[in-house]
Every structure is written in C-alpha cells, then in structure tokens.
Amino acid sequence: MQSIDEVIIGRQGSAGLIRLNRPQALNSLTLPMIRAIAAALREFAADPSIASVIVRGEGDRAFCAGGDIRLLHESGKQGSSDAETFWREEFRLNHAIADYPKPYVALMDGITMGGGVGLSSHGSHRVVTERTRFAMPETGIGYFPDVGATWLLPRAPGEAGTWMGLTGLAINAADAIHARLADHCVASSDLSALIEAIGALPVAASPADVHTVIAGMAVAAGESRLVANRDTIDRALAYDTVGEIQEALAQEAGDFAAETRQIISTRSPTSLKLTLRLLRAGRSSTSLAECLNRELGACMRILYNPDFYEGVRAAVIDKDRNPKWSPASLAEVAASDIDRFFVPARPPLFET
C-alpha cells in the first residue's frame, strides 16, 4: 500500500494504521491527503488480514486541525472548481468512515477541529486524551460547522451541540464524551501501547473486542464544563433564533452565560443564523447523507459570502483576529439571506 509524505500508511499486527503527517500544519487536510486516506480505507476494508483501522496524527500538538482553508479561500477568489472538489471528496470520506465495515479507531490526541472532527467523530471507536482540544470553530471565520457536524451536534445531549456550533469554543475530553463525540479517554502516554494492543487482536476480532481493549486502558476524563453548565445551556440555547438565544443568555446569572453571550456576539451574524438553521434541520434529518447533501449546498453558496473571505483573512492570512463582518449585526441578516444557502448542490453527493 502506497503512502504519500503527508499520510503514512502502514500496519501494526492486525490493525491498519493511517498517520497524518503534517505536524507543522497541525495535520490539516489537503486534497491529496483526503484521497490517500480514502484509498487506504478501501484497501484495508478488502484485506482479510486487517481486523481494524487506527488513525492518528503525527507530532504532539494535533490529531487534525481541519481542512485546507487557504485552498478553499483561493478557489473561491479565483472562481475555480477546487473548493467543490475538496468538499465533495472530504464529505464522501466522512460518510465512508461512518459506514466503515471494520472497527475504525480515531486517536484524537491534541487539537481536533473542523475536518479533524469529520475524520474522528463519525468513527466507531473515538479516543480522546488529556491533551484533546476539540472544536467546530467555523462561525469565527464566516463559515459553518460542516463535515457532517450538522448531523453530530444535534445528537449531543440537550443543547450542548448548539452551544458548540454557535460559540466555536474548544472543549476537553470529558466534554467530548458528554457530547457523544468521543467514547473513551486514554492517557496520551499510553497511545502507543493501545495501538500495539489493538494490533495484537486476532484477525477475527469484533468491534466488541476492540472496545474491550480500549476500555481496559481508559482513564477518568476529568471535569466537563458542558455538564457543569448543562441547565444554563439547555435553557438559553433551546430557541430557534440567535436573537432569542442572546436574550435568554442575558437573563441567565453567572460567568458562563455572560461569556457565551459575549463570544457569540463576536461571530459572523450570517454564520450564526446559518449554523442554527442547519443544526435545527439536522435534528429532524434521518441520515448523515441527508445532512452532508445539505451542507454541500451551503458550501457552494459560502463562496459568495463576504464574511468567509473576511474571516479567513483575519484568522489565517493577516492573523489580526479582527474581522469586519458584513452585515455587522443579526438584525441586518434577513431570512432570505439564509434561504440562499439551502439551494441543493447538483449533483447531490448521495441519493437519499
């Protein structure tokens, strides 16, 4: 099986091993990486000597910090098809992970954001560590949670997923487990031993066998901020408009509500309204495929949204962290402005 420099493909006993190898870029995904991962998964699925697949990031800072935002930004500016190609292949990979026929073990050690969530939280066995910093930070760059997050986040307990999607703030291992985006916490120092133990399983190993190995090495995940503030989150973020959520947060006592309200006020108003509507649509959806199709349509429209270019400029290019959103307020974003994001992409990714 062939590796590329940015994705190292190998095996550990009966386990296929995929290593993201862009540590200097926090293992952010490029299109060649997506293609290499997809090809490896197909080959591992067809290989009778492979019982499971393990995905991890190289370096000690990140599992995967997301997708190639610069490529998407440049493609939109140039009017090329590169962004659409990237999204279509990335979303197909997300769906393939969710539907994978063998145990898929994601080791979410360090930063796990955006596209990294798509590579991990759709898997059958999701491992976090004490170093996990997990987020869908897209409202801060004029974008929205994609990679199937509009399927995952609405299925978190209460309104935890709404809080994550709107604020974009990072959560820890205990939070990710609470939000049903991860399963077990294993010490980062034990990950190599975990890989060896999974690889030592027989070829006939079942998903339950992999679960037993991981559970046997799991440790307490610590305290969850989402659990500690669940009542506030569930009360204030249950509304279906961002304005009502902000008003409800203003009525809540305590620093958590004040911080949440302040953070939301700094995000792109268009992205906030789009994100909330996508999350509510995802809540009533019947499949991941349906959500990915909807997300792709929104992606194609995001290329015409000035906030996307301004957000990427402020966060990635100039790094001044001072985006100027247009429109600048929630009140200026009309319902018809959000309706445009719900035009289906053609052809759809999946027939549903």
| Active site residues per annotation | 67, 115, 138, 146
324-340 core/surface letters (b: 16 or more CB in 10 A; e: else): ebeeeebeebeeeebee
Q: Are strands 52-57 and 15-20 parallel, antiparallel or unpaired?
A: parallel
Report which DSSP code applies to 171: B
Report which DSSP code applies to 231: H
Q: Which amino acid is at 35?
A: R
108 exposure class (CB count in 10 Å sphere: 0-12, 13-18, 19+): buried
Q: How many CB atoms lie within 10 A of CB 266?
A: 14
Please give the Cα distance from 164 to 167 (Å, whole number): 6
Please give the Cα distance from 107 to 331 (Å, whole number): 42
